[in-house]
């Protein structure tokens, strides 16, 4: 195991990585912007390095300078920021440091949605009808749509995190979205490339957790339902996915493993899919691959009894996993709620000083938090404050545990979405596990 680790991130994920690294005897180094100086992850690290402006977490040179100054031997990128930046990963390796993530070439390949789509299709994964090459203009898009069929999803080829996406129901909408998404992609990602795919309006967003081991073995550690979303961004995740046909689940896991093998994947990663059709007649298509640790990894950890951050560190160090994956078996059910600083109706950001913060506790309750009383949620970053995770013997017991934990979670100061989760738990489609990606829209349209 490496002797020291710099965590190139902030908030709850930095705190999460630091917790495991310290348990393993690895010296931890935090980097923090001026805005984050008082957050818990800064004081919990063995060493903390101020890096200045709010945007500094995206500054590769600044991060690498901090690593050199502190004698760090490895870098863990967390998620977001530079985590899927192949150039940064290469720079880390060129500096003689251990990169805790997959090979930079794999990051680059799977970060391009068009190349990723074509690669997994060649590996035998089902993909939605769509364009195999970048679409350059409105006329080309309208022509392609006649073969794909409406509705159409317009995607930024270099996008991620639910950004750079729009749905078109007809040619007029398509023309408008092509122009808008291309401009957004150029501005946000430096790449105006877009692709078109058939949009499935009432589908389930299901992902498979994979782990590529140091010896080249790739294993699947269950699936997660991530269908509770606003603006294509996740709010609730659970494992195992309710209402999934058993044979389809087995096939999805097998395809995810084959994708991992096809690209020579090492470290933790996620294969995301859309499942469409009613139970008994379900099918799926590949959506994208995330070449990093996911925000929602705790539900997998709770059900599979494995520390995914530890496995990441072991793979990066060339070590075998802490347990033989063939002996692991899922146990029970887990649900994660992303506690965001946003209003619970329109989901608009609501940053502010945290004047009160009290976390629920007890059997089967886990809170991964980035904030505490006396800290401030600023508008400079994502609104995620904490993740509430509940685990129980079955889904009904997990949801009952969630109701009690949500009621006991106290946050004052910033706006927050805890009331939305209490509303969600009363929704019959969520309670019985039949919900799809339209559930939030349907709840809001009733108001």
d(CA 74, CA 338) in angstroms, rounded, equals 29
At residue 409, the 3 state secondary structure works out as coil
Structure-block tokens of residue 175: 């023309």
8 Å CB contact between 256 and 291:
no
Whether 444 sits among the annotated catalytic residues: the reply is no
Nearest one of 331, 304, 109 to 219, comparing CA atoms: 304
8 Å CB contact between 359 and 365:
no
8 Å CB contact between 132 and 118:
yes
How many angstroms separate the Cα of 204 from the Cα of each of 227, 242, 285, 334, 439? 5, 10, 11, 18, 10
Nearest one of 281, 270, 159 to 205, comparing CA atoms: 270
Nearest one of 200, 204, 195, 203 to 118, comparing CA atoms: 195
Residue 232's CB is within 10 A of a number of other CB atoms, namely 16
Rg of the Cα atoms in the chain = 21
**Burial class (CB within 10 angstroms; exposed 0-12, middle 13-18, buried 19+) of 277:** middle
Structure-block tokens of residue 15: 């705190």
Q: Which of 292, 314, 338, 401 is catalytic?
A: 292
Q: Which residues contact 129 (CB under 8 A, 6 or more apart)?
A: 147, 148, 149, 197, 198
How many angstroms separate the Cα of 31 from the Cα of each of 62, 71, 166, 227, 372? 10, 13, 35, 33, 19
Structure-block tokens of residue 8: 């190139």
8 Å CB contact between 134 and 157:
yes
In sign, the C-alpha dihedral spanning 214, 219, 222, 224 is positive
8 Å CB contact between 385 and 41:
no
Query: b/e map of 408-446 (b: 16 or more CB within 10 Å)?
Result: ebebebbbbbbebbeebbebeebeebebbbebbeebeee
Structure-block tokens of residue 177: 């979205």
8 Å CB contact between 81 and 57:
yes
**What is the distance between the terminal CA atoms of the chain, rounded to a whole angstrom?**
53
Active site residue ranges:
292
């Amino acid at each position: 195991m490496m002797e020291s680790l710099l965590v190139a991130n902030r908030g709850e994920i930095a705190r999460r990585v630091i917790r495991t690294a310290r348990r393993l005897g690895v010296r931890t180094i935090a980097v923090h912007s001026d805005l984050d100086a008082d957050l818990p992850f800064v004081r919990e690290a063995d060493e903390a390095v101020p890096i200045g402006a709010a945007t500094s977490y995206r500054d590769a040179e600044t991060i690498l300078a901090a690593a050199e100054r502190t004698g760090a031997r490895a870098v863990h990128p967390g998620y977001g920021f530079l985590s899927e930046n192949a150039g940064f990963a290469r720079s880390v390796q060129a500096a003689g440091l251990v990169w805790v993530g997959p090979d930079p070439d794999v990051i680059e390949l799977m970060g391009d949605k068009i190349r990723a789509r074509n690669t997994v299709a060649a590996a035998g994964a089902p993909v939605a009808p769509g364009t195999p090459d970048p679409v350059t203009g409105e006329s080309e898009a309208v022509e392609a749509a006649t073969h794909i069929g409406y509705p159409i999803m317009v995607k930024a080829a270099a996008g991620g995190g639910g950004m750079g996406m729009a749905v078109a129901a007809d040619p007029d909408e398509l023309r408008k979205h092509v122009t808008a998404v291309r401009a957004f992609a150029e501005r946000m990602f430096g790449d105006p490339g877009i692709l078109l795919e058939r949009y499935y309006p009432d589908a389930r967003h299901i992902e498979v957790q994979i782990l590529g081991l140091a010896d080249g073995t790739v294993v699947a550690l269950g699936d997660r339902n991530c269908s509770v979303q606003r603006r294509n961004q996740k709010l609730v995740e659970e494992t195992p996915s309710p209402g999934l046909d058993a044979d389809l689940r087995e096939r999805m896991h097998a395809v995810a493993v084959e994708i991992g093998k096809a690209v020579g994947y090492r470290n933790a990663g996620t294969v995301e899919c859309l499942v469409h059709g009613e139970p008994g007649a379900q099918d799926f298509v590949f959506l994208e691959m995330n070449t990093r640790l996911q925000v929602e990894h705790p539900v997998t950890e709770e059900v599979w009894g494995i520390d995914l951050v530890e496995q990441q560190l072991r793979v990066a160090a060339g070590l075998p996993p802490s347990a033989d994956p063939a002996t692991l078996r899922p146990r029970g059910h887990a649900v994660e709620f992303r506690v965001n600083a946003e209003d619970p109706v329109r989901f608009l950001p609501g940053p502010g000083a945290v004047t009160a913060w009290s976390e629920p506790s007890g059997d089967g309750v886990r809170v991964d938090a980035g904030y505490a009383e006396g800290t401030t949620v600023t508008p400079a970053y994502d609104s995620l404050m904490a993740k509430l995770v509940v685990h129980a013997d079955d889904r009904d017991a997990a949801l009952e545990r969630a109701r009690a934990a949500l009621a006991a979670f106290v946050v004052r100061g910033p706006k927050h979405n805890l009331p939305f989760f209490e509303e969600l738990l009363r929704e019959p489609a969520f309670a019985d596990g039949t919900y799809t990606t339209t559930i939030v829209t349907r709840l809001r349209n009733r108001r």
